[in-house]
């Protein structure tokens, strides 16, 4: 019997005694073995959890099952099975916590917040769930709610540095002038001199908020990104990297930078109003459209790699769309030159290559991994099987292999592989 099948056996009904479970030596052997479960084994465990309400499951078995599906590009399937399991096990805080973290990694804040509201009542997981909910509220612009949640975290964990720094920033922000354009009143840059008039908010992320704004000199509408803060050196470096790296890459698949105001921490970019690849994942797109997205994405990234740049934060929300459907890469805030050694792991965990999580020297293969994960999500968005999409999925699986040397060396090689699909 395989090691993973013993892990599958490491579940028991709530009314069974520990003696009915596997022996300690068997547990030690399972923990010490690096063998990975197959897709079928991982799915079978998650299905069993959902169909057997009285079944108890270890953290190790649950994490291994989810990690197995995620590693093989089947994150959407893992989320679906966890949703079904949670629907039949309303008291299952462990599963709700795992599901919420997977949703957060995909940017699904609303559903994650609903799950975390329930997990918050759990004695062991409640503290982390509350911190995550505070960050969700902050991203949504609900500063008062976010501050209240951070203060609740600090009430039981005064030494929590993340909650303390975020709460202090929100308190300072509450004392600053409010209203459209208020953030542009100070400083001496072009933005502060009144060149741009904010029209509406387009989106909000961890680093900053993006507005549609009118350039009063040209009457052109632009995308204006205002960083939440540029007080610290890392925040300032990210601002400069996002503007200068993209500005040095002139290609239809790279967002055009129009203006930079270092004093206010703001960047003016071309406005791409068609949305992002993230919106495509929720649609029933044709195979032709998905292939068009994949190829234009690969061509843009190949240009970036040929210039010696590695993006390092590729994800669906960072891939915008032109009117003709071509992909445009944006947000170069953590981009670095190939071969550099970063001070820490940077990027979005759900799309981050294993070597990037370990802060190893920067390589285009890390971007290839992220791109592979995105292409797998696009192929999973197809409701019906299609032979061409199956071939694209094979390429994406090759791109998202855990060992860097087993992947294509750069996006240029990916372009060639997709042309043969």
User: Which of the residues are catalytic?
Assistant: 313
Hey, is 218 helix, strand or coil? coil
Distance CA 418, CA 421 (A): 5
User: Which distant-in-sequence residues (6+ apart) come within 8 Å of 31 by Cβ?
Assistant: 60
Residue 63: what are its φ and ψ, rounded to 5°? Answer: -65, -40
CB-CB contact of 52 with 80 (8 Å): no
Alpha-helical (H) ranges within 318-380 are 354-357, 364-380
Please report, in angstroms and rounded to a whole number, the separation of the first and last CA atoms in the chain: 38
Distance CA 241, CA 209 (A): 17
Distance CA 142, CA 83 (A): 27
Q: 194-199, long-range: CB within 8 Å, 24+ apart, which pairs?
A: 195/259, 196/222, 196/224, 196/259, 196/268, 198/224
Please state at what angle helix 75-88 crosses helix 39-51, rounded to 10 degrees. Answer: 20
Q: Quick one: CA dihedral 56, 58, 62, 64, positive or negative?
A: negative
Distance CA 404, CA 421 (A): 22
Q: How many other β-carbons are positioned within 10 Å of the β-carbon of residue 104? A: 20
Alpha-helical (H) ranges within 287-363 are 287-306, 354-357
Distance CA 176, CA 385 (A): 54
Distance CA 178, CA 184 (A): 11
Hey, is 400 helix, strand or coil? coil
DSSP 324: T
Scanning the structure block, which residue is given the tokens 């294993």?
354
């Amino acid at each position: 019997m395989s090691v993973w099948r013993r892990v599958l056996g490491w579940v028991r009904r709530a009314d069974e005694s520990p003696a009915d479970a596997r022996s300690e030596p068997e547990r030690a052997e399972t923990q010490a073995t690096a063998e990975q479960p197959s897709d079928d084994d991982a799915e079978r465990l998650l299905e069993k959890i959902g169909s057997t309400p009285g079944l108890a499951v270890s953290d190790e078995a649950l994490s291994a099952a989810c990690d197995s599906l995620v590693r093989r590009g089947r994150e959407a399937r893992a989320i679906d099975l966890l949703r079904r399991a949670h629907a039949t096990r309303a008291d299952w805080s462990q599963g709700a916590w795992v599901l919420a973290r997977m949703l957060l990694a995909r940017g699904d804040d609303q559903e994650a917040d609903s799950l975390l509201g329930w997990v918050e009542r759990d004695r062991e997981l409640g503290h982390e769930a509350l911190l995550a909910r505070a960050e969700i509220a902050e991203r949504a612009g609900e500063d008062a709610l976010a501050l209240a949640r951070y203060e609740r975290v600090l009430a039981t964990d005064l030494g929590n540095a993340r909650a303390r720094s975020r709460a202090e920033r929100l308190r300072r922000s509450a004392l600053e002038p409010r209203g459209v354009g208020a953030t542009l009143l100070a400083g001496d840059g072009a933005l502060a001199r009144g060149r741009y008039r904010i029209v509406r908010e387009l989106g909000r992320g961890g680093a900053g908020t993006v507005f549609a704004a009118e350039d009063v000199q040209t009457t052109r509408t632009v995308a204006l990104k205002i960083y939440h803060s540029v007080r610290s050196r890392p925040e300032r470096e990210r601002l400069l990297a996002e503007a200068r790296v993209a500005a040095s890459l002139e290609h239809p698949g790279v967002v055009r930078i129009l203006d930079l105001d270092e004093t206010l921490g703001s960047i003016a970019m071309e406005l791409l109003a068609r949305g992002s690849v993230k919106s495509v994942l929720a649609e029933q797109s044709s195979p032709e459209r998905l292939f068009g997205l994949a190829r234009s994405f690969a061509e843009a990234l190949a240009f970036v790699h040929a210039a010696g740049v590695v993006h390092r934060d590729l994800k669906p929300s960072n891939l915008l769309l032109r009117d003709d459907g071509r992909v445009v890469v944006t947000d170069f805030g953590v981009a670095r030159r190939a071969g550099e050694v970063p001070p820490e792991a940077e990027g979005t965990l759900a799309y981050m290559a294993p070597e990037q999580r370990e802060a190893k020297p920067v390589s285009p293969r890390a971007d290839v991994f992220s791109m592979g994960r995105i292409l797998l999500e696009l192929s999973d968005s197809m409701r019906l099987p299609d032979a061409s999409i199956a071939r694209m999925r094979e390429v994406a699986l090759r791109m998202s292999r855990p060992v860097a040397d087993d992947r294509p060396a750069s996006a240029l090689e990916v372009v060639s592989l997709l042309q043969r699909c």
